Amino acid sequence: MRIVKIFINIILFIILVSTLPVNAKEKLNVEGKGYIGTLPELVREYVPKDSENGTDENASKPVKSIPAKDFNSEAEIKPAPNEDPAFVNIILKTDKTSKYGNDLNEFIPILESLYDIIDENKSLQLFNAKVYFFNKSADYFRDKYAQKPEGQYISYKKLLELSTHARSIALLRAEAQKYNPYLAYGSEGYIYNPNSIQEQLGFLKKEIQQTILLLRESI
């Protein structure tokens, strides 16, 4: 019986092999492991299809080149909106002047007024009053910035030097008015000579003008 079963199995195997295609017969000796056959090239042969008509939706669309913008072209560079108040007031003038600059700016009209008093040869009383106000403002300015970095600025030092010079000229003119009738214009009384005082006022006026220019440049 056992021999009969073996014989029947051999006949069935021969029949099975004879019914397979040629390629299958060649690949039948693969130790009986794994997939017998070839896999499709999924990556290379994949083409996206239009879901409606089954065609490539990008096949008929030409590739468009996107040119780079010419950033040196005047057409691409937009001018600053200098006429727009929002731009001028917010962008251009935002905190450009410091507190120190604001304080310097307050001295300019004081010095201009003092310059005009000297230039127009106005009264001694008006001159002394303006110098007094200037000196008081300069003293406050000195105390405010003496211990700060601004105390090393040229504008700071120049302003205090002018204040000292103006104070000395005001004192000289007051003394000249008081002692002039009793002094002979000798070696000791020469400083009270009207010509000498006018010369000193000329120096002071020139110094005031230079200081005003320096303050404007420092703001």
Q: Report the CATH number that the domain containing residue 112 is assigned in CATH.
A: 1.20.1440
**What is the phi/psi pair of residue 32, to 5°?**
70, 20
pLDDT along the chain (219 residues), means of 10: 66 65 50 55 54 53 55 57 55 62 96 96 95 97 95 96 97 86 63 87 96 94
Residue 63 in domain: no
Residue 183 in domain: yes
**Domain range holding 172?**
99-218
DSSP string across 106-172: HHHHHHHHHHHHHHTT--HHHHHHHHHHHHHHHHHHHHHHTTSGGGGSHHHHHHHHHHHHHHHHHHH
Kindly report the length of the chain. 219
Residue 20 in domain: no
Count of beta carbons in the 10 Å neighbourhood of residue 88 = 13
The pLDDT, as a whole number, for residue 179 is 77
Provide the greatest CA pair distance for the chain.
Answer: 168
Residue 94 in domain: no
Tokens describing residue 102: 């604001």
Residue 19 in domain: no
> Helices 99-119 and 154-179, interaxial angle, to 10°?
30
Residue 129 in domain: yes
Structure pTM?
Answer: 0.55
Residue 83 in domain: no
- Going by C-alpha positions, the residue among 114, 112, 137, 135 that lies closest to residue 126 is 114
Q: How many domains does the chain have?
A: 1
Burial category of 61 from C-beta neighbours within 10 Å (exposed 0-12, middle 13-18, buried 19 and up): exposed
- Going by C-alpha positions, the residue among 136, 141, 116, 137 that lies closest to residue 126 is 116
The pLDDT, as a whole number, for residue 63 is 56
- Name 17's Cβ contacts closer than 8 Å, sequence gap at least 6: 25, 28
- Going by C-alpha positions, the residue among 134, 104, 106, 105 that lies closest to residue 118 is 134
Residue 195 in domain: yes
